Copies of this chain bind each other. A is one copy, B any other.
């Protein structure tokens, strides 16, 4: 894979001097178009062999373009706020919004590479990590990001020469560390693992671009031109190309039997039993939240359900049991403009809890495959890929000691009508019935289909859906509390698997 990057590419000074001014002009031009159109974010990764000039290259890109609209992120020690979240959280925080450029040095490739070279993870685990990276990058691309991944390569001879020359010059000698020499002695091993990694993670949307690193002029010019070309291509393409829909939805339930219909919505809990059960389960939940092991996990609870199914009431039965310092309830409304400039999952990553805390979502990332699907806010391809993206997201949470509990609160059409009418009569503003509610009701069938698909595609062993029969509020609330307790109990004291 590195053959073409060991040919001794060189650009002479005169050519360089001649080519730079128009390149800079064109790059600035493209950057302004990007900024003004705000059509997509640009993510540039700069990775490669030690001392192949990654930092210098990033500095040049900042110099050539307008640094006010570039954010550079280097790998560094995790802060404790980052340690309490899944490993990718730090990168989500740093994603550039639409119209901006984010440059990452090192990034999500660093630790799998190093760990495999050092032997702390085997090839199978390396491949598992790479597979996750592929899915992450694909998601970003599908969400519109322009992705450029540069790998700066040096042959063994070139690297040795470079380390020595940096070391000799007093102004750069500080840049060569013992680790660099240690890694140099492991050149073959690094070479081998890097190749495996690049091969596995080069995709049509986000290909690796391998650049010979020994001649700075060649390196800068190559990368500058590649960035320009990619930017220009995307900017000049027609806006928001309509996605083809190659795979129209296929109906499986030819007999009309759906999972939601199997629920016995007549389930009831008499008031007398309810009070007793409520105290019992709320007490249990409270004790669990003060369990010594609870500090090591976090809990994400999401509520979805038909309109008027009683999500708010169920949430309140949970928060009543907890110290207010331990939870945060996030109602999901329309995204803010900062959120609209990011991939759709970004606004949920923001709200992930510290360890020892609960994050409760009133509606959630499943909006993508429910309201956005039914109302046509995103294309078929977009919501189809969301199932996998959501599963990946939840897998990351679970791997990072998070208990993910998902409730679908189900009521039937008659019960909903009854509740709508009651609300209209009482006229509480907090239960205001809007035209939207009535409109959603007219799409009952479509929503039901979407819910069934959602359950089939995202109810996983690590993050199962709990369907809650909610025609009777008391029954629903107790089932919610009981499920939550059981899930937390079964995770306490257990190490999260991989």
Contact = CB atoms under 8 A, between A and B. Distances in A.
A169 interface: no
A81 B82 CA distance: 10
A71 interface: yes
Contact of A429 (B29, B67, B327): B29
What DSSP secondary structure best describes chain A's contact surface?
helix
Contacts of A61: 324
A32 interface: yes
Given A33-B429, A320-B63, A337-B337, A325 B55 contact: yes
A68 interface: yes
Which of A29, A68, A174 is packed against the most chain B CB atoms within 10 Å?
Answer: A68
In this complex, the interface size class of chain A, counting residues with CB under 8 Å from chain B, is 35 or more
A378 interface: no
A331 B74 contact: no
Interface stretch (A117-125, A216-224, A311-319): A311-319
Nearest to A77: B80
Nearest to A75: B325
Contacts of A415: none
A68 B338 contact: no
Interface in A67-105: 67-74, 79-81, 103, 105
A442 interface: no
Contact of A32 (B290, B330, B429): B429
A430 B79 contact: no
A235 interface: no
B68 A315 contact: yes
A229 interface: no
A379 interface: no
A323 interface: yes
Nearest to A328: B71
A73 B328 CA distance: 10
B430 A58 contact: no
Contacts of A28: 430
A107 interface: no
A67 B311 CA distance: 12
B105 A74 contact: no
A456 interface: no
A100 B80 CA distance: 28
A498 interface: no
A105 B59 contact: no
A416 interface: no
A62 interface: yes
A55 B312 contact: no
A384 interface: no
A342 to B, nearest CB: 12
A362 interface: yes
Contact of A336 (B29, B33, B338): B338
Contacts of A174: 290
Contacts of A81: 79-81
Contact of A329 (B33, B68, B327, B330): B68
A83 B159 CA distance: 39
Contacts of A337: 336-338
Nearest to A33: B429
Contact of A325 (B32, B36, B58, B336): B58
A195 interface: no
Contacts of A70: 324, 329
Contacts of A495: none
A161 B55 CA distance: 64
A72 B430 contact: no
Contacts of A33: 429
A103 B324 contact: yes
Contact of A67 (B36, B59, B69, B329): B329
Contacts of A316: 63, 66-67
Contacts of A338: 336-338
A312 B66 contact: yes
Given A79-B80, A430-B28, A63 B323 contact: no
Given A59-B324, A79-B81, A325-B58, A319 B429 contact: no
Nearest to A55: B323
A319 B63 CA distance: 7
14 contacts: A33-B429, A36-B429, A55-B323, A55-B324, A59-B324, A61-B324, A62-B319, A67-B319, A68-B330, A68-B331, A79-B79, A79-B80, A80-B81, A338-B338
A-B CB proximity, top 7 nearest:
A72-B324, A74-B325, A68-B331, A68-B329, A62-B324, A67-B319, A58-B324
